Structure 1
């Protein structure tokens, strides 16, 4: 199990690393911005401050967005504890 901390609200929830970050947040009752849940709308994009993730299918992020830490929470699975910034 991994802990995910959402800033700026300082909310923490757990994920098993097999569900997406978005699924884990919603299952924990956290209001996480989302719409399509398939990586097309970008509503769930957030910035990874700390930790590691993996994707089953790589999302459509530019190299610049990836370098800046942007992730799609609906596609990302934690492989460590995470700190994410919702902007």
Structure 2
């Protein structure tokens, strides 16, 4: 199990790494911005400040966006504890 911390609200929830970050947040009753849940609308786009994620498919993010820490929460699966920034 991994812990995910959402800033700036300092909300935490757990994920087993098999669900996407968005699925884990919604399952924990957290109001996480989302719409399409397939990485097309960018509503769930957030910045990863700490930790690592994996994707079942290559995300629709540029290499620079990924280097800057941007993730699609609807597609990303935690592979460690995470700290995310919701703007």
TM-score (norm: length of structure 1): 0.98
Q: How many correspondences in the alignment?
A: 87
Report the more deviating stretch, 56-65 or 12-21: 56-65
Matches within 5 A, 1:1-87: 1-87=1-87
Shift of 1:22: 0.1
Shift of 1:67: 1.1
CA RMSD of aligned residues (A): 0.5
TM-score (norm: length of structure 2): 0.98
Structure 1 residue ranges, 4+ long, deviating more than 3 angstroms after superposition: none
Distance in structure 1 (CA, Å) of the matches to 2:13 and 2:34: 17
Shift of 1:31: 0.4
Distance in structure 1 (CA, Å) of the matches to 2:58 and 2:47: 16
